[in-house]
Amino acid sequence: MSHVTPRPLTIADVLEAMADSVGDRPFVKMIDRELTYAEIDERSNRFANHLLSVGVEPGEHIAIHAHNCLEWIDAFFGSLKVRAVPININYKYLSEELAYLYDNSDSVVAVVEPAYEELARGAITDKVREVLVLGDAYDSAMAAASPERPDVERSPDDHYVIYTGGTTGTPKGVVWRNEDIIKAALNAARYGAPIESVEQLATEAAANETPMTFMAAGPLMHGGSQWIMGNSLVGGVSIAFYTERGFDAEKVLDLTEKAKVVSLAMLGDAMARPLAETALAQPDRWDLSSLMALSNGAAPLSQAVRQQLVKAFPGRFILDSYGSSESGATGTHMDDGSGDGRARFGVGAEVEVFDIDWKPAPVGQSGMLARTGPIPLGYYKDETKTASTFKEIDGVRWVIPGDAAVREEDGTILVLGRGSVTINSGGEKIHPEEVEGVLLRHPDVFDAAVVGTPHPRWGQQVTAVVQLREGSSVTAEELIAHVHGLLANYKAPKDVIFVDEVPRTAVSKVDYRATAELAMREHPSS
């Protein structure tokens, strides 16, 4: 009897196994076309073979500088097929930010959307050996490349890197092993069931006669959207792929209807509020009978927006997910609309809350959230940051991503917010997300961000940056009084700055660094 060597647990091997097992099943569903697992496998083979033709070696980095498009998916899987590492480039970055990211990532090939070619060429260093511009040049390169699978022996140790958004500092590349990222972030569609082998995943997929469709409305240059695609892959199901250049709630719901999406993933209020208000304004336009859950990650939902979602999509669950680029998918919370809106995440034994002495914090006492198990190797080229974020405690290696949290009586975890943006006013710790959530409950507030600005007596004061609804005439004093009525006095803003748009990253998170800079420019004496 011949012995068949099991495939290594890598993202590329899972794709190939699925193409062999359920090759005719749609993997990517777009508004105007569908592509099967076999078609995505062949497209990524061409990209992989092109990389080999230009001398790309295992471990080298491939920058992807584009909005959502099929070529993004080609480059992602194609890079991994030849043991290269896809690097997510934030397309909102400008010259200095791009120069930093291209240099820091050591990318040797750049796949660039034409709209960003000039910026990219101005930012890249001599490390980049090829700039592959989407369009005729890319199409010609792919047509010339072989559609056959490259003869490459991959390893579970092959790297996967995701660059963080850098909302509070410069972007950092989080380095994972392939096997670890699959177990830590891409296995949620299987409810974290053990993965015995790649072959097991393919067999399970073939036995699934009613595969679901997940949807990521955000850009693939965000880890959360990559992970939804990865969860679809590991589960052998489909992903609805949104490719419009900007977020358009109507078009998202069009795709949800057409692709029969079961779970629609959002990135916080910035996506959820337009979706809810659009559905409420046109309640009979879309057949959303397939939709079972609204999934949220990356940024928390405020209670006001959560209530809008419950009203706009009755009978659906809101599935909150907690995680980060450093920790993977760490916890989940299912909300049917009956709770208080604060997501208390169910977590496994690998999650802990540590006090300042690195001991497990008692129930009800805030501390720093941590995870062990399959976690990253560290940050790319940043030993100092790696040492501060990844700690060995009593012989066990943990990642401490920087979020303050409290363990509840029932074992769930209440995440309070990112410690690096916590405001310290007169010794009182204030989490911006809590104040933002209360501001968003005011009917005249469309969006809000809260930061700490200098105060001569208290060290920092709470400053709110607010985008009002069109036609609103609410005053700063009225908004401050609104917060006073719902939170302790020290948490209420001392200053409100009205803006046309709250600074957010391309993936809908509040950009706290830009917000703080804006607040200081507008009110330098604060």
**pLDDT reading at 1 higher than 50:** no
Beta bridge pairs of residue 9 = none
Per-residue pLDDT at 419: 66
Q: What is the pLDDT of residues 123-181, one digit of tens each?
A: 998 999 999 999 999 999 999 999 999 999 999 999 999 998 655 557 899 999 999 99
Find the angle CA(171)-CA(505)-CA(265) to the nearest 5 degrees: 110
Structure tokens at 380: 């790319």
**242, part of any domain:** no
Question: What's the pLDDT tens digit per position in 328-367?
Answer: 988 888 887 666 666 788 888 899 999 989 999 999 998 9
Q: Quote the CA–CA distance of 7 and 81 in Å, as a whole number.
A: 13
Compute the average pLDDT of residues 22-46: 98
| Residues 145, 44 share a domain | yes
Looking at residue 2, its pLDDT comes to 47
What is the pLDDT, as a whole number, of residue 266?
87
Q: Do residues 400 and 514 both lie within one domain?
A: no
Max avg pLDDT among 143-147, 303-307, 441-445 = 143-147
Which of 419, 449, 466 finishes a domain?
419
User: Over the stretch 313-324, which tens digit does the pLDDT of each residue have?
Assistant: 999 999 988 888
Let me know the angle formed at the C-alpha of 89 by 259 and 38, rounded to the nearest 5 degrees.
40
Residue 256 lies in a domain: yes
Contact 281/318 with Cβ under 8 angstroms?
no
Q: Which of 344, 374, 405 is the last residue of a domain?
A: 344
How many CB atoms are closer than 10 A to CB 170? Answer: 14
Residue 306 covered by a domain: yes
Q: Report the share of the chain in percent with pLDDT over 90.
A: 69
Q: Is residue 203 part of a domain?
A: no
One domain for residues 333 and 377? no
**Can you tell me the distance from the alpha carbon of 435 to that of 460, in angstroms, rounded to the nearest whole number?**
15
Query: Are 380 and 516 in a shared domain?
Result: no
Do 224 and 216 form a contact (C-beta atoms < 8 A)? yes
In a domain, 305, yes or no: yes
Structural domain containing residue 428? 422-522
In a shared domain, residues 406 and 427? no
What's the structural domain count of the chain? 4
In angstroms, the CA 402 to CA 391 distance is 12
Instruction: Tell me which residue of 525, 523, 477 sits closest to 499, measured CA to CA.
Output: 523
Taking the C-alpha atoms of 360, 363, 364 and 365 in order, what is their torsion angle to the nearest 10 degrees? -20
User: Domain boundary at 380, 398, 419, which?
Assistant: 419
* The two structure tokens encoding residue 106: 């050591």
Contact between 302 and 318 (Cβ < 8 Å): no
Task: Answer whether residue 402 shows pLDDT above 90.
Answer: no
Distance CA 158, CA 315 (A): 42
Collapsing DSSP states into helix, strand and coil, what is residue 373?
coil
Q: Give the total residue count for the chain.
A: 526
Supply the Cα-derived Rg of the chain in whole angstroms: 23
Asked which of 12-16, 413-417, 476-480 is least confident by mean pLDDT, the reply is 413-417
In 222-284, beta strands by DSSP E: 238-241, 263-266
160: in domain: yes
Name the range with the highest mean pLDDT among 248-257, 356-365, 435-444. 248-257
Same domain, 179 and 266: no
Mean model confidence pLDDT for the chain: 91
For the record, the structure tokens of 221 come out as: 């240059």
DSSP assignment of 432-444 equals: HHHHHHHHTTSTT
For residue 327, CA distances in Å to 131, 181, 229, 379 come to 32, 9, 18, 12
Is residue 374 located within the same domain as residue 484? no
- pLDDT confidence tier of residue 524, bands split at 50, 70 and 90: low
Q: How many CA atoms lie within 13 A of 118 on its CB side?
A: 1
Reported as a single tens digit per residue, the pLDDT across 38-61 is 999 999 999 999 999 999 999 999
